[in-house]
Amino acid sequence: MHTSTLLGAALQLCALLGIFAGAAAKIELTSRSNIIVQPQTSAQAAEITRNSGCIGLTAASWALVFYPGSEVYHYENQEFWSLTEILAPSCVFRPTNAQEVGNAVKILQTTNTKFAVRGGGHMGIAGANNINDGVLMVLSNITTFRLSQDQTVLSVGPSYKWGDVYGLLQPSGLAVQGGRLSPIGVPGLLLGGGISFYGNERGFACDDVVNYEIILADGSVQDANKSFNPDLYFALKGGSSNFGIITRFDIETFPGLKVWAGVYSISAEYITAFLEAIANYSMNAKDPKSAVIPAVVAGDPNIAAVILFYNSDTVGFPDDLLPFTNIPSISSTLAFKTLQQFSDETAVVVVPDLNDLFASGTIRVTSYQQALTGINLIYNIFFDRIPLLYSQMPKENITIIEIDWEPITSLWLKASAAKGPNALGLDPTQIYICYAQVVEWTGSQYNRIVYDWAAENEKTITDATQEAGIYDPFHYMGDSAGFQIPGFYNGYGLGNGAKLEAISRKYDPKRVFQNLMPGGFKLAHSEG
């Protein structure tokens, strides 16, 4: 293509994509790989001068780079779950394929530019998936979606949310393990382990990944699977963004018929019975088709609610779920529905324009009595400390406070172990009960108060569960807070933190994904 035609096309595209909208910066093309960006305002000049990475990316692939003031920049920089995640990147880079990601990784190194990577944007930790004064790489346009010929494997790009995946698979009568709420992103969930409704049947969602397409620090596009780069394959199952950027996940499919599922709410007078039901299910779940997410929500009075799930299009009220369904309900949506319908139903709890915090912890138990003791300790400490939070910020600003439990049952861990090891390193002979504190509020001036309150809760719960002999250092990444990043991988079982460190040094000797991409659950910040 001639330079003049290219320039015309470039300017047309800039106009179409809203690059340099407002006081447009002037782009001069001397050749395809030599673009000079001339800022038109002093603010743009400062921005562009400061960020050589943005300039380098613009020079290499100008149509993929978006600056403050453009519609695309504005759109992509709002695509986050929580207000706590919104920062001010110097530019947004939006690649469309693995090669473009690889080139960008090289350019960002040459220009020594810090960057962040965003998939579905649901990790609600400031700086985990966004960045001030750096490049925000968003994966929204890497949209691979194809079934293998025998339909046993789905290849999916990192652009997708789980609800879209379930909807696209539905006509084929298939499902995959993924998020229990439709708006959660594919990449972050799979890289953190992944708790799905099918855990008791199939283990963690990452256990179903048969191959990762990954961009390494040298910019190369590689596969990681059981036979090729097997150490990297292991590390990616729970090791998050420490090793490279995933541009495709190949995951096992299974028949996805309708399921029996719903939200079952219980009034305050039955909360004792509800906590007993959590302990009972955690210890005694026998039917791999069942799943639960029990929670108690603070209110006046408190309310208990459990998401119940049974992978059957013909059977409801299975025996495994009787500990919950035997308690009278104040409302219930239990019915047969598709996975997409159900993940859309649970998604109503995802409310935009709030500040949000999850903070996690785990107990490891060997008897019903131990489980109940742990569940009660967690419940009592959390709810006893709520008045302290209300004394520090207006109660009206808090839109939700709740505690959730995630029983990782014996069925689950055995199913997981049968698929081969993952980075979490949990012991299949044990039973773990993870829990998550959840707080949502308005007014970012209260962020610090909420973080400190939740961190103190966590410390108090840890002390109490240690004393009871049921503490476990494992934290589920998807439910963890920013203050839990130091020492995070020390909580993985079997000394896997050290293994992950060695694997990261092998594949990323220059520490690109630790230093230039510093956000999220990084090994470098995990010495603790």
Ligand X SMILES: Cc1cc2nc3c(=O)[nH]c(=O)nc-3n(C[C@H](O)[C@H](O)[C@H](O)COP(=O)(O)OP(=O)(O)OC[C@H]3O[C@@H](n4cnc5c(N)ncnc54)[C@H](O)[C@@H]3O)c2cc1C
| Contact residues for ligand X, defined by CB under 6 A | 81, 116-124, 128-129, 139, 158, 179-181, 184-185, 187-189, 191-192, 194-195, 240-241, 245-246, 350, 478, 519-520
Alpha-carbon distance of 272 to 266, in angstroms, equals 11
Q: Output the six-digit token pair for 11.
A: 């300017």
Determine contact, residues 379/291, Cβ cutoff 8 Å. no
Alpha-carbon distance of 223 to 276, in angstroms, equals 46
> Comparing C-alpha atoms, which of 264, 116, 249 is closest to residue 178?
249
- Nearer of residues 126 and 278 to ligand X, judged by Cβ: 126
Strands in 245-252's sheet, in edge-to-edge order, are: 145-147, 153-156, 245-252, 209-215, 221-225
Alpha-carbon distance of 25 to 55, in angstroms, equals 12
141 DSSP 8-state letter: T
CB of 493 to ligand X, least distance (A): 18
- Nearer of residues 194 and 374 to ligand X, judged by Cβ: 194
Determine contact, residues 320/155, Cβ cutoff 8 Å. no
- Nearer of residues 256 and 520 to ligand X, judged by Cβ: 520
CB of 2 to ligand X, least distance (A): 37
CB of 21 to ligand X, least distance (A): 25
CB of 146 to ligand X, least distance (A): 18
CB of 98 to ligand X, least distance (A): 10
- Nearer of residues 10 and 87 to ligand X, judged by Cβ: 87
Print the SS3 string covering 313-333.
CCCCCCHHHHHHHCCCCCEEC
- Nearer of residues 18 and 121 to ligand X, judged by Cβ: 121
- Nearer of residues 14 and 209 to ligand X, judged by Cβ: 209
CB of 117 to ligand X, least distance (A): 4
> Comparing C-alpha atoms, which of 21, 28, 26 is closest to residue 7?
28
Side-chain-facing half-sphere of 131: CA atoms under 13 Å: 23
- Nearer of residues 20 and 160 to ligand X, judged by Cβ: 160
CB of 204 to ligand X, least distance (A): 8
Cα 75 to the chain's mean position, in Å?
A: 20
Alpha-carbon distance of 479 to 195, in angstroms, equals 10
CB of 514 to ligand X, least distance (A): 12
Instruction: Give counts: helices (H), strands (E), the chain.
Output: 17, 22
Q: How far is CA 156 from CA 13, 230, 245, 441, in A?
A: 28, 20, 14, 34
Omega before 301 cis (within 30°)? yes
- Nearer of residues 20 and 115 to ligand X, judged by Cβ: 115
CB 8: neighbour CB atoms within 10 A?
Answer: 13
CB of 456 to ligand X, least distance (A): 22
Q: Measured at CB, which residue is nearest to ligand X? A: 188
> Comparing C-alpha atoms, which of 197, 204, 200, 203 is closest to residue 260?
197
- Nearer of residues 57 and 246 to ligand X, judged by Cβ: 246
- Nearer of residues 39 and 119 to ligand X, judged by Cβ: 119
Determine contact, residues 182/162, Cβ cutoff 8 Å. yes
Alpha-carbon distance of 256 to 172, in angstroms, equals 8
CB of 373 to ligand X, least distance (A): 26
CB 119: neighbour CB atoms within 10 A?
Answer: 27
CB 7: neighbour CB atoms within 10 A?
Answer: 16
CB of 138 to ligand X, least distance (A): 9
- Nearer of residues 53 and 478 to ligand X, judged by Cβ: 478
Name the 3-class secondary structure at 379: helix
